[in-house]
Chains A and B, each alone.
Chain A
Amino acid sequence: MAVAIILLLVAVASVLFHIFSPWWWTPLASNWGYIDDTITLTFWITGAVFSAVVVFMAYCVFRFRHTEGRRAAYNPENKKLEWWLSIGTAIGVAAMLAPGLVVWHQFVTVPADATEVEVMGQQWMWSYRLPGKDGRLGTSDARNVSSDNPMGLNPDDPAGKDDVVIQNDDLHLPVGKPVKVLLRSIDVLHDFYVPEFRAKMDMIPGSVTYYWLTPTRTGTFDVLCAELCGAAHAQMRSKVVVEEEKEYHAWLEKQHTFAELSGQRDVAKAAYKTGSE
């Protein structure tokens, strides 16, 4: 009796916790509401199954627990019941998988009008790069990395000269515009993770990975690293600022291009050599 009640309580407590707990996902800030919907659907289906199984068990324990003289029934199998249960399960699984795959298809299909933004991870900081006037990002390679060129951009690639390079600072994005986030690393695995965007993807040294999203609301959001990258993994933070087009452009104006940055350094170096500084 007590056991049956406790089992029942486990199910009831789990459901109540789910309903009343204050811990739930952070408000969405991207177009990936579909993902939240799929999670909600999955919660409904799995929650129903969980409750049904535990309640059934609790009932069995209550109803069929050993008492003097009780004897169990003998029924080795029941083909029909087993088939019905399998078919029912298959339908439930399909009900979650089908929408999941549809949304995944959207997730991996980048819209043609998405602008590119590059995020580079390294132990333990984030850098960003936006295409310049030509709308293209120049090539890069870990072999080019130096203190003057921490993102490893190809100095001979004309497409890279006007790229906007942002280091030790926040990334800004215009609201309502689809972006393709290109992900790159020069040392180990990292993962560019903004909880409000829902999307995430590992960054792998030696290749470029990506995902896309459309920011849907303005605000400042935390960037965390979601793939273990060594000792300071938990402190690898940054921020993304989503703002209106106008403010975004005002911010963009103030940023420096790759050419400017390397130019400045050359000027600084030359000045140092001649001792005129």
Chain B
Amino acid sequence: MVDVPFDTVAGVPPAEVGEVELYHPRSWWTKYVFSQDAKVIAVQYSITAMSIGMVALVLSWLMRLQLGFPGTFSFIDANQYLQFITMHGMIMVIYLLTALFLGGFGNYLIPLMVGARDMVFPYVNMLSYWVYLLAVVVLAATFFVPGGPTGAGWTLYPPQAILSGTPGQDWGIIFMLASLILFIIGFTMGGLNYVVTVLQARTRGMTLMRLPLTVWGIFTATVMALLAFPALFVASVMLLLDRLLGTSFFMPTLVEMGTLTKYGGGSPILFQHLFWFFGHPEVYIVALPAFGIISDLISVHARKNIFGYRMMVWAIVAIGALSFVVWAHHMYVSGMHPYFGFFFATTTLIIAIPTAIKVYNWVLTLWRGDIHLTIPMLFALAFIITFVNGGLTGLFLGNVVVDVPLSDTMFVVAHFHMVMGIAPIMAVFGGIYHWYPKVTGRMLNEALGRFHFWVSFLGAYAVFFPMHYLGLLGMPRRYHDIGETSFIPASAHDLNAFMSVAALIVGFAQLVFLFNLIWSLFKGKEAGGNPWGAASLEWQTPETPPGHGNWGKELPIVYRWAYDYSVPGAIRDFVPQNEPPAGLSAQGSHP
């Protein structure tokens, strides 16, 4: 007999809070533009994030062209290269991934997965999107201001971020900081919504330990973001003051292009602590939603419950908590007190344990499953490979003394692209192929999807796996041109050219994906309400796409966890969360 610890029959508690009247849009404008419906806001967030993400993608082509064929493109010089990496990095991490996972997936999935009609503060939720859009506009504007965008690197380290010598120091940096400040304001409004909705608006029977892991991932990531972004907020405000009013929060006595400045008494290292107090949790802010999404994709498409659900939840929470005490592993060679290294190396390597548990449980979910190699499943497999690869190289960089030769080389660039670039993007794609039918009512085209998958996965792997070895060679990052050195063989340039060609092909595949998104909207196969045979609540809505208020007249009642797949004795290979156990007629409608 299998051990089934998840009680499926425990009674359903009566509703504690009665239904609240929803806000109903009265015009086209309030329905589709200034909408307060989380589903519309989710789509707005996603489209905006992907649009600005395209800019980051194009920048990556330009950078790869320069690295692969230095000197060939006269329109890319050292200054522009720095501006490109800065904008590319910042957009990818914050304006694309953070916004897409939390604002996009979070808004769409949280209310549907917990059985709510909408977010608890719909008006604030709407404001959140508009402030985010403003942040994106301000960011995009830096391409057009005099001097162009800042080239300080996405880490924006002072003093150089605000001194001459660095491109974009007059306008670019000011716009960048202003945009970040706006982003954080917008995010906070959305983030409070996600947290309160998960805690307060779950439907009857939806206990915390019955939530799908996607919700756990997004919820924990949001809590972390609410705690981490304030550090970036103050750092940005202080840097802005240093730049505009001549304060010296981060500026010691120093010389700018040969002349003494008026700055004095500040600490550049302080900025780095604030930045990474945000920056490291940020890595997990994009990783945890991906973890959750991948767990659900694997479970649904392998027709098997997620293995070790409780361990998975605790691992998410443990990772979230631990990631606040590891930030200085980004600063091993920053010149901070060397003894910090002992502490931060230890905490950093400890995080590997809950993270490894997650990986084991994903692959153990595949074990004795009924694996359907659908596109979401393929992306989930690719996620595991790239995440494991990037996670393991994290053990190099986290182990303080190993970081010394590798820090600030292409090894680091390869590492973080694998773990927080490619892996989360795989989760994003997997999630889009999986939920697109719910959002639009149509399936994405299968053939285009498979093409997109194989080119993106194998191509990105071909770009970033060999890159580690350039780092081992000693090739520093943020170099537009390595130039003459005695230690880098000519063959390394061929490798660089190869990686650039691969990157361009990967980029092309993304255009195919965009085409698929639009084409399938009109021509895709009709999906029906639950094309994958999934058990979680969002697939049990009375209409697809879900209507305003999500659930028609009655909120669903939840009787079980989200992972009842291939339950022995059940007729179908899944049991929806809201299906009453045999012998118990549905409550609510028939009391």
Contacts and interface: CB of A to CB of B under 8 A. Distances in A.
Interface residues of A, number: 100
B352 interface: yes
Nearest to B157: A189
Given A35-B401, A57-B366, A76-B305, A202 B153 contact: no
Interface string A214-245: 00000011101111111111110100000000
B405 A17 contact: no
Interface in B63-96: 78-79, 82
A81 B165 CA distance: 57
A233 B478 contact: yes
Contacts of B486: 220-222
Contacts of B473: 23-26, 195
B349 interface: yes
A60 B380 CA distance: 14
Contacts of A112: none
Contacts of A203: 335
A250 interface: no
Interface string A163-202: 0000000000000000000010011110101011011111
A273 interface: no
A229 B349 contact: no
Contacts of A12: none
B21 interface: no
Interface stretch (B32-40, B185-193, B200-208, B389-397): B389-397
Nearest to A186: B255
A108 B333 contact: no
A53 B366 CA distance: 12
A186 B310 CA distance: 54
Interface in A134-169: 141-143, 145, 147, 152
A64 interface: yes
B401 A73 contact: no
Contact of A77 (B3, B269, B352, B400): B3
A97 B159 contact: no
A115 to B, nearest CB: 20
Contacts of A196: 487
Interface in B453-494: 458, 461, 465-466, 469-470, 472-474, 476, 478-483, 485-487, 489, 491-492
Contact of B472 (A25, A75, A96, A183): A25
Contact of A231 (B167, B269, B349, B491): B167
B446 interface: no
Contact of B157 (A6, A200, A228): A228
Nearest to A209: B335
Interface string B218-252: 00000000000000000000000000000000001
B9 interface: no
A74 B535 CA distance: 15
Interface string B143-175: 000000001110001011001011100000000
A100 B403 CA distance: 10
B409 to A, nearest CB: 7
B367 A64 contact: yes
A90 B357 CA distance: 11
B153 A228 contact: yes
A57 B385 CA distance: 9
B583 interface: no
A259 interface: no
A142 B363 CA distance: 57
Given A26-B474, A66-B373, A72-B304, A222 B485 contact: yes
A233 B482 CA distance: 11
Nearest to A227: B408
A72 B565 CA distance: 8
B335 A204 contact: yes
Contact of A188 (B160, B308, B568): B160
A65 B373 CA distance: 7
A126 B120 CA distance: 58
A26 B255 contact: no
A85 B360 contact: yes
Given A189-B160, A226-B409, A231-B167, A78 B363 contact: no
B571 to A, nearest CB: 12
B466 A233 contact: no
B359 A53 contact: yes
B408 A76 contact: no
Interface in B291-310: 302-305, 307-310
Interface string B245-271: 000000011111110100000111100
A104 B343 CA distance: 12
B480 to A, nearest CB: 6
Nearest to B155: A228
B366 A187 contact: no
B13 interface: no
Contact of A75 (B3, B465, B482, B492): B3
A105 B363 CA distance: 38
Contacts of B526: none
Interface in B333-365: 333-335, 338-339, 341-342, 345-346, 349-350, 352-353, 356-357, 359-361, 363-364
Interface of A: 3, 6-7, 10, 14, 17, 21-26, 32, 34-35, 38-39, 42, 45-46, 49-50, 53-54, 56-57, 60-61, 64-66, 70-78, 81-82, 85-86, 89-90, 93, 96-97, 100-101, 103-105, 107-108, 122-123, 141-143, 145, 147, 152, 183, 186-189, 191, 193, 195-196, 198-207, 209, 220-222, 224-235, 237
Given A89-B356, A93-B395, A222-B487, 8 more contacts: A66-B303, A66-B373, A72-B303, A75-B305, A75-B368, A76-B2, A142-B255, A142-B260
8 contacts: A60-B367, A70-B370, A72-B566, A73-B566, A86-B357, A206-B252, A222-B487, A230-B163
Interface of B: 2-6, 78-79, 82, 151-153, 157, 159-160, 163, 165-167, 252-258, 260, 266-269, 302-305, 307-311, 333-335, 338-339, 341-342, 345-346, 349-350, 352-353, 356-357, 359-361, 363-364, 366-373, 378, 381, 384-385, 388-389, 392-393, 395-396, 399-402, 404-409, 458, 461, 465-466, 469-470, 472-474, 476, 478-483, 485-487, 489, 491-492, 495, 563, 565-568, 573
What are the 4 A-B residue pairs with the smallest beta carbon separation, nearest first? A206-B252, A195-B474, A230-B165, A209-B335
